[in-house]
Amino acid sequence: MNLARAIAALGALAGLGGLTLQYVIMIGAEGADPLLATWRFFAYFTILTNCLVTLVFARAAFKNGADDGLNAPRVELMAVTSILFVCAIYNILLAPRWEPQGWQLVADIMVHQVAPVLFAFYWLARAHGRLGWRDALFAALWPLGYAAYGLTRGAFDGFYPYFFMDPSAASFAELARNLGGLTLAFIVGALVLVALDRALARRG
């Protein structure tokens, strides 16, 4: 088993474990209402991104060396940029706002720290020189798609999981500025990763 496949197998197990734990916690928090818990569970960018990277991990573990579908270079770029973004945004903007305890702390560590670190190592272990600069724009489809999804579903039930995407807490101009800034930061991050990919390829 090569290094990338070994990390993928570990990442798939860790990702599934973290997501399952968080789902069980949310069912308890929502008064044992599985329907509401499931609806709220899939409202979070963190959860959806962890689902994406877990699927990428699982396919890489079962289909070693695949370069298509979920393991296409630009899809893996989208996944690694997204999960690192999850880690950065959580630790910079969200973590100071609350102090999880017990199993919630374990779940938080799994989805916000363990998954990003494992996926970063997996991505670095893959063959390089597979990306072009335009792939950074493709990677940005994930947060843009989430913004449209989150705002649309929030319009129906009034629940916005992130304060910087809550129309009730910010004006339209502030909301646009928040989303524009985050998207720009995401694209810059993806470009940095493309540059790293190309540099690693040159090193052989």
- Count of H-run helices and E-run strands, the chain: 9, 0
Q: How far apart are CA 66 and CA 143, in angstroms?
A: 25
pLDDT value at residue 1: 54
Q: Which CA distances in Å does 172 have to 58, 152, 165, 166?
A: 40, 15, 10, 10
pLDDT value at residue 123: 96
What three-state secondary structure class fits 114? helix
Under 8 Å between Cβ of 167 and 160? yes
pLDDT value at residue 89: 87
Give, for all 204 residues of the chain, the pLDDT tens digit: 589 999 999 999 999 999 999 999 988 875 667 888 899 999 999 999 999 999 999 999 999 888 999 999 999 999 999 999 999 988 887 777 778 889 999 999 999 999 999 999 999 998 778 899 999 999 999 999 999 999 999 999 899 988 888 888 878 888 899 899 999 999 999 999 999 999 988 876
Residues near 110 by beta carbon (within 8 Å), at least 6 away in sequence: 14, 17, 18, 21, 22
Quick one: which H or E segment has residue 151?
helix 141-157
Q: Where are the alpha helices (DSSP H) in 30-72?
A: 34-41, 45-62
Structural domain including 194 reads 3-202
Dihedral, CA atoms, 91, 82, 65, 203, nearest 10 degrees? Answer: -80
In total, how many domains does the chain have?
A: 1
pLDDT value at residue 28: 81
Q: Which CA distances in Å does 113 have to 38, 50, 101, 203?
A: 23, 11, 16, 29
pLDDT value at residue 204: 64
